[in-house]
Structures are given as C-alpha cells and as structure tokens.
Amino acid sequence: MSTDPSSGDLARARGLLEDAARVFILTGAGISAESGVPTFRGEDGLWRSYRPEELATPQAFRKDPRLVWEWYAWRRGKVSDCEPNPGHRALARLALARPARIVTQNVDGLHEVAARDEADGSDWSAASPLELHGSLFRVRCTECAYHGRDRADIDATDRDTLPSCPECAALLRPDIVWFGEALDPLVLSAAFDEAREADLCLVVGTSAVVQPAASLPRITREAGGSVIEVNPQTTPLTDFADVALKGPAGIVLPTLMGD
C-alpha cells in the first residue's frame, strides 16, 4: 500500500480537477477512517451481542423501539466523539468554492460538521452532502411526514422517554435506510442527476460494491466525464478510473487540492 501517489498521477488528477466545470464527489466509510469512526462490523462497532442486521431493520424497531433507539444512542455517542479529518475539510472547501456536490453513503454526519466549520459562519449549504443512507443525526416521524435534524441526547431508558414527533406526538425513528428498506427515490434521482451533470467524479473511500452508489461513477463516465479514485486499496473501480490515487483521503485530498 502506497501513501504517496506518483507525481504523474497527482499532476493528471490536478489537471482533471482544474478543468472540471462541475464535480461530483462520492464518499464512503473510508473518508471517515482517519476520524476514527467505528465501522459497523469492527470490534468497536459491535454492541452487546447484537449483529447490526438484528437491529437496523423496520421489524426490529416495530418489535422493540426502545432497544433500537438505545443502540442508536450509543452509535451517536461514539460518532459525536469523532471530528472531521483533513479529507472532509478539503472536500468541504472544494464544494464551498466551486460547483460541486458531495454525495455520501456515510451516516456519521461528518461532512456536515466540516461544511459548517469551513464556512465559518457563512452559508454552508453548498457543501451540505446528499446522504444516500440517511444520518445518525436525522429523525423522522413514524406516522406523519415530519423529519428533522437532531443532535440532542436520546433517553432510551423507557418506551415513554423515546423521542416523539413535535407535530403529532407519535414515535420518531432514526432517519436511516435500514436493511430491507429502499433508498429515498428523490435522493437517489438527485444523486444520479449530479453524477450525470458532472464532468468529474471524485470517488473517495468506498469499496464500490454496494449498489446503487457503485454505479454512480459509471454514470459520469457514460455522460463523457472523468473519474478519479482516492483509496489506499484496489477496488472494482480502480482499473475503470482515469486516475487512481492510492493513499489515505486525509493526506491525498488536501494534496490534490493544493492546500
């Protein structure tokens, strides 16, 4: 594994980035690795004796919402202790400065934190990510259309203390795409539009095997754009990419952007 992309690759990637009128940025769990976000399946990601497939489902929530909320409270706490790394920050600066859209598979909210930090009090919406799988810090109502962002502590000691809807008082649930659930079609079509309209797709820290995210770089390519991959490992996209920058996002992205 190299952490130092060859200068030829770096120069080519810089050229593609400079020439791009519009950039589509697709990120996965790898962008948050250097922030110490626990992976679902790693040792840090395990909670009690449960597997994520037993808790991250609509059936589990119907059966025992308190247990599922308790798990999400624990995950929120773990992620709240993490900070965006230089990779998140470099992407936020890019999206604030130029036509670019961040589309993420992550649920950790770190792109949003980086966007707010980098905007430093001004409008950060240009760097607000499209969250394909939802977010640990978003909630939605189980009965009405209410949805919102929420970083408050969750009290999951009892069914009655669980978060409730400010509009209809019904139970709120994490706004996360669970196993067996479809992605929000509006979010998905917005992501496909972004991929199609961009002339550069920057793919960062995703193993490029989970659909439909894995096909988005191909949409950019089919529409005539280029693809840059940033990942220390080889993925199914590596050979397909115009340039593969092999290294950790927290080092490669600031270097690519000339920071």
Enzyme catalytic residues: 133
Per partner kind, with CB cut-offs from 5 to 8 A, the member of ligand NAD, Zn ion, none near residue 144 is Zn ion
Binding status of residue 166 toward Zn ion by CB under 5 A: no
Specify the residue, 146 or 192, whose C-beta has the smaller distance to ligand NAD: 192
Within 13 Å of residue 72, how many CA atoms lie on the same side as its CB?
33
* Structure-token match 């624990």, residue found: 74
Binding status of residue 126 toward ligand NAD by CB under 6 A: no
Q: How far is CA 85 from CA 109, 111, 156, in A?
A: 12, 10, 30
Which DSSP symbol is given to 224? Answer: T
Considering only residues 135 to 194 of the shown chain, the ones binding ligand NAD according to CB under 6 A are none
Q: Going by C-beta distance under 8 Å and a sequence separation of 6 or more, which residues neighbour residue 186? A: none
Binding status of residue 248 toward ligand NAD by CB under 6 A: yes
Q: How far apart are CA 219 and CA 216, in angstroms?
A: 5
**DSSP secondary structure, 144-197, as one string:** SS-EEE--SPP--SSGGGS-B-TTT-PBEEEEE--TT-PPPHHHHHHHHHHHHH
Specify the residue, 111 or 173, whose C-beta has the smaller distance to ligand NAD: 111
Which DSSP symbol is given to 47? Answer: B
Report the residue closest to ligand NAD, judged by CB: 30
Using the contact rule CB under 5 A, the part of the chain among 10-18, 50-58, 168-176, 207-215 near Zn ion is: 168-176
Q: How far is CA 158 from CA 39, 76, 176, 257, in A?
A: 27, 18, 22, 49
Q: How many residues bind Zn ion (CB under 5 A)?
A: 8
Q: How far is the CB of 4 from ligand NAD (least distance, A)?
A: 14
Near Zn ion by CB under 5 A: residue from 144, 209, 210, 223: 144
Interface ranges with Zn ion (CB under 5 A): 141, 143-144, 146, 165, 167-168, 170
Interface ranges with ligand NAD (CB under 6 A): 28-30, 32-34, 37, 39-40, 105-108, 133, 204-207, 210, 230-233, 235, 248-249
